[in-house]
Every structure is written in structure tokens, then in C-alpha cells.
Structure 1
């Protein structure tokens, strides 16, 4: 009987969890992300249709589109073109035609590349976009110019 009681006590002690349990520790892992502001800019072609009649002058305009990854303050600069003087050149004749680009439809405010001076600044909307218009005008008339295709390339830069 004693043996049975001893075995029964041993069985009950084992069943009640006298076994050793593993320990436990916790830590907190921080999770974070850094979103870097990002913007791109594109521009349409500015076309002028210039009559070669005496005193003729032309105006044109082109869209400038800004796309950022969210609302962002920006400043858009336009350089002075390939020759550094905003003039379109006809490669066949070597003749040039001066022009200017403006930020307003009245063509009174030059759009240039001096940050904080003659660039266009603003804030992209909640969707990260902004649509602007560049307005152009030829400065000299076409008197004495040969008919042809005059062209230049202006670099558009967005600072954000």
C-alpha cells in the first residue's frame, strides 16, 4: 500500500507541473520610414509661326508640368538656351531670331534661371502636381530673315 501511495504521489506531482518551464523576454522593435521629396518636370514644345512680312512678330506658349511625390514647394528655372542668349538659329542659313520667355500672359515678366529673382515659385498641390504656362515672344521681326526652321533648346530645372 505504501508503494501505491508513493507512486500515486509521484504521479500527481508530475501531473501538476513540476517540470521546469523555459524563460521569456521581450523587446520592442522600432519601425520607421523616411520619405524623400522627389519631383520631376516636363515641358511641351513652344512653337512660333512667324510671317516674314516686314514688322512681323510672333508669340507662342508651352505647358510646363511638375510632378512630385506629394505637396512640395518648388522653384522652376529656365536657362538662356543653347547660345546663352535665347535665340533660335536656322542651321541651314546660320541666321538667328531672338526671343524671350515670360511667366505671364502679358509677356512682361521674364522667366529666367536666377533663383529667387526671375524663376517661378509655388507649391505643388496635395496630389503633388502643378501645371504652369511659359509664354514666348520673338523680340525682333522677321525682316531680312530667310524662310526656314529656327530652333533652340531651353533647359527647364525644378528646385524643391
Structure 2
């Protein structure tokens, strides 16, 4: 009788210690890669897409962990945002860069959660995180996009950090072991969303056509237009070279197929008093980018001169934006 009582007590104590240890040893850790967009083109219309991975590592004493379920909830990040776009901010500029995080590769379902109503959380059970042998890993992809055509964003390094539990990231999960002992748990993870906007400019120009003329006994004027789009807060210069046959800003020529020539000039002003040349000549025109398209008229003049043989006369000017 005494021996049986002692055995019963010892066995009961051992069972209690074992069950308690198994329940508390079921743990999972969560980590994520950064979403690094690299250098993005804010003047173009195309989006920049990258992806990241959330890694789930689980372990349990004596292989008793059977399953894990729950949700990964992602908030707006330090830059703020809503269902339309999250924002990255820069310490060196006053502008923000719009981006978004998604659950799916098609980038149609915004990644969010119960701590941020503008999206859906990641359901861990969707990735079959079943751990029978005591440990296991699941890699959960998530997706990012920086939207194109953000011309007003100034050059700089942009960042949004996800680190404030539960504001930014909260993992609410439940572990169960083979003895059907389940425990509700919470965890967090951190990652950054980064991008770099560099200075950039786009340029286009219309042809300058002096039309059909007879004798060159008096000046003939015409005008064309240069269109420049530069990132905000970007200083630039517009330079025009001397053409195919010229030797300087005041020494440009159009030529015919027979190599006959007509002298002409290009100017920054309507009165044709400021010649337009290159930055090296000191005759470029300066401007400051706003993110919007800015237009500049080019004023041309064919001065009076001896009239060459009839024909079609042409020259090619290269427009260079230095920024």
C-alpha cells in the first residue's frame, strides 16, 4: 500500500512536469526581408515591382508540436498610408514616395490586417505550416510596388519602417501539439521598405521650319519648342550644339544635297538678341525642375544673305540637358 502510493505520487508529478514543459516549449519566430526597390524612375509611367519573404520558424520539445494557425497583420508603416498607397519619406526632402504592399503577385489584394483596416492579413494556415517532427519552416511571400508617374517626388533616399508592435506588425497565432494542448501567442517582426529617387530629366523638341522662301533679301523668322521634364528640385541647363556644319552659336548653317549653305541663328529670346548655344559656350539656358513638363521656345532667324541655288536645306541640332 505504501509503495503504490509513492509510485502514484511520483508518476503524477512526472506527468504534470512533462505536460507543462511541452505546452510552453512550442514556439515560433518570425522574420522578414526588407522590401528594397533600389533606384526608381518617378518620371516614367511604369511601376517598379519587388517582392519579399516572411520566414516562419517553429520548434517544439520532443516533437509534440502538430500545427500552427493564425494571422500576420501588417500596418501602415512609419511613413503612413491608406488603401490607395502607403508612403516612404525622406529626411532630406519634403516629398513622399507612394508605394503599396500586397498579398498576391498580381498586386490586387492590399496587405493589411486587423490593426490596420486598409487591407487583408496573411493567413498562416494557407501556407500549410504543419510541423510533425518538432521543427519546421515556412516561407511566406509578400509583394511591393512603387507607382510610376510620381514626377513631383524630389531626389533622395526614401524609407518606411515596420517595427512598432502592434501598430506596424502583429502576429497572432495559435500552436497545438499532438496532445491537443493549444496555446494562443503573439509575436512581431521588423523590416524596412526602401527606395532611391535620383535626379532625372526627359527632353523632346519640335522641328524648326522656315518654310518655302524665295530670295533671302530680308530676315526670315520661325520658332519651335523644347519640352523638359525634370524631377522636382533639380537644377538643369539646356544646351544646343552647333549643328552638323556650324562652328559656334552664331555660326550655324543649313546645307542642301549639293552642299550649298544657308546661314541661320538660334536664340533664347523673341528679339533674337541672345544666342542659344551649349553649356561649354556659356550660352545654355538654365531652369529648375518641378516635376511638371516645362516648355521653352526656340527662336530661329535666317538673316539676309546671298541667295543660294534652290533646293531643300536642313541641319540637325542636338539638345542636351545637363543636371
Deviation of 1:105 (Å): 0.5
Select the residue among 130, 137, 153 that pairs with 1:129.
137
3-state DSSP of counterpart to 1:125: coil
> Would you identify which runs of 4 or more consecutive aligned residues in structure 1 move more than 4 Å?
none
- The answer to whether the Cα contact below 8 Å between 2:77 and 2:161 also exists between their aligned partners in 1 is yes
For structure 1, the residue ranges without an aligned partner over 5 or more in a row are: 1-23
Q: Give the equivalent residue in structure 2 for 1:57.
A: 47
Structure with the higher fraction of residues in strand conformation = 2
Of structures 1 and 2, the larger Rg is shown by 1
**Per-residue Cα deviation, 1:4-46 (whole angstroms, up to 9, x for no partner):** xxxxxxxxxxxxxxxxxxxx82221211322234222111010
Distance in 2 separating the partners of 1:142 and 1:97? 8
Count of matched residue pairs:
137
Distance in 2 separating the partners of 1:65 and 1:41? 6
1:1-160 matches, within 5 Å, as: 25-26=2-3, 27=6, 28=8, 29=10, 30=12, 31-32=14-15, 33=18, 34=20, 35-36=23-24, 37-49=26-38, 50-69=40-59, 70=65, 71-85=67-81, 86-114=86-114, 118-123=120-125, 124-126=129-131, 127-139=135-147, 141-154=149-162, 155-160=168-173
Deviation of 1:79 (Å): 0.9
State TM-score, norm by structure 2.
0.39
Q: Which has the higher contact order (CA 8 A, sep 6+)?
A: 1
For structure 2, the residue ranges without an aligned partner over 5 or more in a row are: 60-64, 163-167, 174-323
State TM-score, norm by structure 1.
0.75
